[in-house]
């Protein structure tokens, strides 16, 4: 039976905990989630996120040295992203933060997205031999295209997962799923299941992703369940990778190579430079499956080339980072070029504007304003073309470009 949705509109109705069992201690705490901050009451601008159910909160026994007890609450909004819906189980501090940065606000999609949508759906979800369901391209997908945008159905703080008693954790998460809008709830319950004993664990096990949300010094790590993106299988030579925007609470899946109709859309579940034996072990130990992809099942000869590229990419990446940290920017630039070539040969190149951002920064640090401007402009153009729902990178590259261009012009005037 669904609880009756409650709208809290006056300060008198603050702290509507629905304690159960040991959770009762939460009701006795002198602090409540701050209603204005967590969207129960209107903020200064008069906007409120109206949660559709009374928040349910839990507070683990306070640690000896803890001054403020932590409170984790379950909040559900069925109207989030035009009726997609979301259940959030996190600390009141994190919840206040994501509302504060405007993550719940809907904005019109950028122009690039509208243009691609007119081409029709990029993929379909169908059975794939030996892997359950999978995502197959329905039309040609361009390199750099955003193939899928997905929102979290569940967002769960790892602080909560680590501190709640197992039966409280399961009860809270079960309720989080049950409070989702009917369509999304069915989608979540229909996801492939792991071998775990309890339903919530079996759903989250093989389908959840780790995402970072919240303030830098707070507990940022969260588990996100993205019910559409969860259909993407693992590939050792993936053709897509994901980006999560905290500000827009959106997971974007973008193609880093062109994908032909009928090809499977694949994402790597392990860092791309992980070599075969480690990769297979990780997938077995952490995901519970024997990887069936070409680079896992091929002979030593067949995979030798790729293994070499990956080892080189890994060591180059490490050397680039140390050269940057020690101020050897010229070396870092040369090695970045090499690293990029290896990633292209291995068909797992980085997102172009990300690479250009980094080169602009290295050239700037190296005092080469000509190349810093050149790469900053390429990065900016790349972010415009990319058309993410999150314009943070675009805005950043615009600022960098303006700054380096100005300095470059100034240096030219000085030379003349
Ligand atoms: C996130 S789900 C992917 C979608 C899933 N195939 C489905 O039917 O919903 C992860 C699960 O898919 C299967 N899977 C993904 N990649 C695989 C691969 N390369 N080889 C074998 N099984 C794979 C495994 O069962 C894994 O636990």
pLDDT in tens, 85-135: 999 999 888 888 888 788 888 776 666 666 677 788 899 999 999 899 999
Q: How far is the CA of 230 from the centre of ligand 1 (A)?
A: 9
Q: Provide the 10 A C-beta neighbour count for residue 230.
A: 23
Q: How far apart are CA 13 and CA 6, in angstroms?
A: 10
DSSP assignment of 114-182:
HHHHTT--SEEEEEETTTEEEEEESS-B-TT-EEEEE--SEEEEHHHHHHS-HHHHHHHHHHHHHTS-H
User: What are the structural domain ranges in the chain?
Assistant: 11-108+150-229, 113-146+253-291, 295-415
Residues 286-297, mean pLDDT to the nearest whole number: 86
Residues 298-319, mean pLDDT to the nearest whole number: 89
Choice among 216-220, 222-226, 247-251, 325-329 with the minimum mean pLDDT: 216-220
Q: How far apart are CA 43 and CA 59, in angstroms?
A: 25
| 3 or 194: which leads in pLDDT | 194
With a 6 Å cutoff on the Cβ, whether 289 touches ligand 1 is yes
Contacts of 105 (CB under 8 A, 6+ apart): none
Q: How far apart are CA 289 and CA 267, in angstroms?
A: 15
Q: What is the CA 150 to chain-centroid distance, rounded?
A: 10
**Fold annotation for 113-146+253-291:** Beta-clip-like (2.170.270)
For the chain, helix, strand, coil in percent to 5 are: 45, 15, 40
Q: How far apart are CA 156 and CA 95, in angstroms?
A: 11
pLDDT of residue 287: 86
Q: How far is the CA of 183 from the centre of ligand 1 (A)?
A: 22
Q: How far is the CA of 231 from the centre of ligand 1 (A)?
A: 8
Q: How far apart are CA 104 and CA 249, in angstroms?
A: 8
In tens, the pLDDT along 24-62 reads 333 333 344 554 556 665 555 666 667 888 888 887 666
Above 0.95 for ipTM, yes or no? yes
Cβ–Cβ under 8 Å, residues 102 and 246:
no
To the nearest whole number, what is the mean pLDDT of the chain? 84
pLDDT of residue 25: 36
pLDDT of residue 45: 63
Confidence tier at 11 by pLDDT (50, 70, 90):
very low
Confidence tier at 9 by pLDDT (50, 70, 90):
very low
With a 6 Å cutoff on the Cβ, whether 231 touches ligand 1 is yes
Residue 84, CA atoms < 13 Å, CB-side half-sphere: 19
Q: Which atom of ligand 1 is nearest to the CA of 293?
A: 19
Nearest to 382 by CA among 352, 350, 342: 352
Q: How far apart are CA 314 and CA 335, in angstroms?
A: 12
Which bin fits 127, alpha (ψ -120 to 50), beta or left (φ > 0)?
beta
Q: How far is the CA of 257 from the centre of ligand 1 (A)?
A: 21
The highest-level CATH class for domain 295-415 is mainly alpha
Q: How far is the CA of 115 from the centre of ligand 1 (A)?
A: 31
With a 6 Å cutoff on the Cβ, whether 134 touches ligand 1 is yes
| 124 or 285: which leads in pLDDT | 124
- Choosing from 150, 231, 234 the residue with most ligand 1 atoms within 8 A of its CB, the one to mutate for a pocket test is 234
pLDDT of residue 228: 96
Confidence tier at 208 by pLDDT (50, 70, 90):
very high
Nearest to 214 by CA among 73, 92, 44: 92
Task: Report which secondary-structure segment, H or E, holds 244.
Answer: strand 240-245
Q: Which residues of 107-138 are buried (b: 16+ CB within 10 A; e: fewer)?
A: eeebeeeeebeeeeebbeeeebeebebbbbbe
Residues 335-343, mean pLDDT to the nearest whole number: 95
- Determine what percent of the chain is predicted with pLDDT higher than 70: 83
């Amino acid at each position: 039976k669904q609880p009756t949705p409650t709208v809290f509109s006056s300060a008198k109705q603050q702290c509507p905990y629905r304690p159960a069992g040991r959770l009762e201690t939460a009701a006795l705490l002198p602090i409540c989630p701050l209603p204005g901050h967590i969207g129960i009451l209107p903020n200064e601008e008069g906007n409120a996120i109206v949660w559709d159910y009374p928040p349910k909160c839990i507070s683990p026994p306070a640690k000896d040295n803890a001054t403020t007890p932590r409170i984790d609450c379950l909040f559900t909004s069925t109207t989030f992203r035009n009726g997609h819906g979301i259940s959030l189980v996190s600390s009141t501090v994190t919840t206040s933060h994501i509302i504060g940065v405007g993550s719940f606000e809907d904005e019109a999609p950028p122009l690039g997205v509208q243009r691609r949508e007119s081409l029709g759906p990029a993929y379909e979800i169908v059975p794939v031999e030996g892997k359950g369901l999978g995502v197959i391209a329905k039309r040609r997908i361009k390199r750099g295209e955003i193939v899928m945008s997905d929102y979290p159905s569940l967002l769960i703080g790892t602080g909560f997962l680590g501190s709640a008693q197992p039966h409280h954790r399961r009860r809270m998460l079960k309720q989080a799923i049950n409070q989702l809008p009917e369509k999304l709830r069915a989608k979540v319950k229909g996801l492939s299941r792991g071998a775990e004993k309890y339903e919530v664990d079996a759903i989250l096990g093989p389908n959840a992703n780790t995402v970072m949300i919240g303030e830098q010094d707070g507990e940022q790590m969260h588990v996100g369940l993205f019910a559409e993106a969860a259909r993407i299988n693992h590939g050792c030579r993936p053709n897509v990778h994901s980006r999560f925007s905290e500000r827009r609470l959106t997971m974007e899946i973008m193609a880093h190579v062109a994908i032909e109709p009928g090809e499977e859309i694949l994402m790597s579940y392990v860092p791309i430079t992980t070599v075969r034996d480690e990769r297979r072990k990780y997938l077995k130990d952490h995901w519970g499956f024997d990887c069936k992809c070409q680079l896992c099942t091929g002979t030593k000869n067949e995979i030798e080339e790729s293994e070499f590229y990956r080892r080189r990419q890994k060591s180059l990446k490490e050397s680039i980072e140390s050269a940057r940290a020690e101020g050897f920017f010229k070396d870092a630039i040369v090695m970045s070029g090499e690293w990029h070539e290896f990633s292209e040969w291995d068909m797992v190149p980085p997102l172009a504007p990300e690479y250009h951002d980094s080169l602009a920064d290295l050239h700037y640090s190296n005092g080469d304003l000509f190349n810093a401007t050149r790469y900053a402009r390429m990065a900016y153009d790349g972010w415009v073309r990319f058309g993410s729902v999150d314009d943070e990178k675009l805005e950043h590259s615009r600022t960098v470009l303006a700054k380096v261009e100005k300095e470059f012009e100034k240096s030219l005037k000085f030379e003349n």
